[in-house]
Amino acid sequence: MRVGIGYDVHRLADNRPLIIGGVEIPFDKGLLGHSDADVLVHAIMDALLGALGKGDIGQHFPDSRVEYKGISSIELLSRVERIISADGYRVGNIDGIIIAQRPKMAPYLKEMEANIASTLKIDPSMVNIKATTTEGLGFVGTGQGIAAQAVVLLEAVS
């Protein structure tokens, strides 16, 4: 059994789609990044790679490489799933939290869980995604960005 924790943050910017958990959310801004900047999936990938002792997403998918420009983070998560499987592990469960003042995430959480579970080839009941605000405090509270955290459990495949 191995445990990992992940954290990510991205700045909100004009003229970008807002994609979180593989779901495009209607909003007047999106997250700025080299890929689609899916802050939740990035936190989950970092947690998974950390649990394996394999560094972080910047080492595996550096923003200096043109092939990752605009790539779907769900596609990158699929690549991380292959690393997990090759190392003889499977995902036991994921607990993630999105930290955003706006927009409200509640209507999209189940779809996010389904996207992540499908990509990782696990039952949706093994993925729990929550959302919270910062009550107007800090860069999230003032609408400058969105953050996410995740904790994962990996189990050895017998």
Q: What is the pLDDT of residues 3-18, one digit of tens each?
A: 999 999 999 999 999 9
For residue range 85-134, list pLDDT tens digits in order.
Answer: 999 999 999 999 999 999 999 999 999 999 999 999 999 999 999 999 99
Strand partners, 97: 130, 149
How buried is residue 30: exposed, middle or buried, by Cβ count under 10 Å (0-12/13-18/19+)?
buried
Domain count, the chain: 1
In angstroms, the CA 52 to CA 66 distance is 26
pLDDT tens digits, 19-62 = 999 999 999 999 999 999 999 999 999 999 999 999 999 999 99
Q: In the predicted model, what is the mean pLDDT of residues 71-98? A: 97
The whole-chain average pLDDT of the chain stands at: 97
Burial class (CB in 10 A: 0-12, 13-18, 19+), 122: middle
The pLDDT of 68-93, averaged and rounded, is 96
pLDDT of 153 strictly over 90:
yes
Give the domain range for residue 91: 2-156
- Model pLDDT, residue 27: 98
Looking up residue 137, the CATH number of its domain turns out to be: 3.30.1330.50
User: What is the per-residue pLDDT for 158?
Assistant: 79
